Structure 1
């Protein structure tokens, strides 16, 4: 196999595992960069041990590499961490690896950023890359600062800003929604009207390949989202369809839901559930990205998968 050689960080994470499985099918060789000794993950051409937070000697890891895909980092779900922790890993670790890639002559650096580099958890307007970014938490700020640092380097780069990603092994908010959908009870969510953009893992993989293959230079961020935003009732309907069930939704008015959530001390969770966040992937589509699944189809397939028994 003599396809392009990709150096991949975060190969044991939710997104990285999927990229490691899919990229070889598309003709890429993958060298994983691991923090600690372990068996080479299935699908990897080779593995190199190293700490991206201290990339003082990455010459061997990046030798002959065509592109770096950097998916490692502190996740948004790791709440309560000091801002300095996010900055050390998500900003300084990213830039240290990017500088090493520049020294090694790597053709392109693909950074898995986040829509939170662009916006808070809700937005009243459709998000595009042309809008001034306004992250609202340490995680989002650390991702935006990494993008800004990449812009000061000489290598070609692309930052992908995915919205909430769903697929096998998903955790966090989408896992909570899946648990609700799997419950046998009717859900009082039928009255929620706000639309949100989601992103299938397969569509994210197609986006990564689109920026890998695009003629350069790119040197910019790209929003990644399934083309059509959906409501929470549409999400539950699709998930329950994958389970072979009807929607089971009760049209409880949103103000009553908000009042109930507030009384239980869950107002912030309600605001995230009921708020709108629509992001446009138009710039990525202009680059040649073609999504491979729709959100309803992707959610139906996800729900039809057997529940994971692992942690």
Structure 2
């Protein structure tokens, strides 16, 4: 088996950064997507070389063919929750002795509060978190049967191309619908720079053994959400920052469902609709949870991007994208 690394879900935000970053780190990367993929995202301007293989992660035969000749798999599949769990089930069945680096999420901790390490119980809330937790259970069973597995639990992954934690907050800040939320934004903002997630993945691929390891990947010194909104607003020119009253956020809760319907319809028509701020997201802004980063420091030892540099790169992309 040669030294190639298959990246499943290589066409998504994180997958494209994996292609570029792991290639720069010296890995021979293979892009696994359903359709041919153009050059991946790169913050350096360089276009890394990569092989493309057609793969449907939900089809065991297609996945088996894509795995031929690779020594490891980075699972970045991001789709509907049930499909994510199904893809992980097939991957565990087909991987054999290949190492799996699986991108999970802090969503597996659900509504937990305080300092949370990797041994905390998985108490997910909602379909996304439940799918991530189910995927972890499948891979834990695979590791117990002798498989090589590393599971990474990032926080809110931001950076160039991040729709959820860069673009959407940026648009809402410019529209005056986000700002200083007062007590509604006092929760801990566990950001993960996308370049840090790539660096952690590279370190996971280089570990001498991976008998079902789990690592939180997050900023070691997170602030609150109000601080993040202020920093992002300053970086994208969305100042002065508005103070958002609780009454306005109540209105946002009521408007979230119809705005989501409009968002889905607009996506089909290729039109940008106003972003919803669902109650689940508002709960995130208030959650007092801090990911414990110490196991990743000891076990992976990757170099993190300075937070100011990560924010500047994200803001530059957002400003350029308009």
Match of residue 149, structure 2, among 145, 150, 157: 157
Residues 1:54 and 1:244: Cα distance change in structure 2 (over 3 Å):
closer
CA contact (8 A) 1:33 1:50 kept: yes
Match of residue 137, structure 1, among 112, 126, 138: 126
- Give the TM-score normalised by structure 2: 0.79
Alignment of 1:85-234 (within 5 A): 86-87=81-82, 89-102=83-96, 105-106=97-98, 108-120=99-111, 123-153=112-142, 154-182=146-174, 187-189=179-181, 192-234=185-227
CA distance in 2, matches of 1:178, 1:57: 38
Residues 1:185 and 1:147: Cα distance change in structure 2 (over 3 Å):
closer
- Post-superposition shift, 1:167? 0.7
- Give the TM-score normalised by structure 1: 0.81
CA distance in 1, matches of 2:39, 2:165: 31
The unaligned stretches of length 5 or more in structure 1 are: 76-85
CA distance in 1, matches of 2:24, 2:132: 29
Alignment of 1:71-82 (within 5 A): 71-74=76-79
SS in 1 for 2:220: coil
CA distance in 2, matches of 1:47, 1:280: 36
- Post-superposition shift, 1:309? 4.1
Alignment: residue pair count: 287
CA-to-partner distance for each residue in 1:82-133, whole Å, 9 max, x for gaps?
xxxx23x21221121232121xx42x1111111112224xx32222111111
More helix, by proportion: 2
RMSD: 2.8
Query: Which sits farther off after the overlay, 174-183 or 131-140?
Result: 174-183
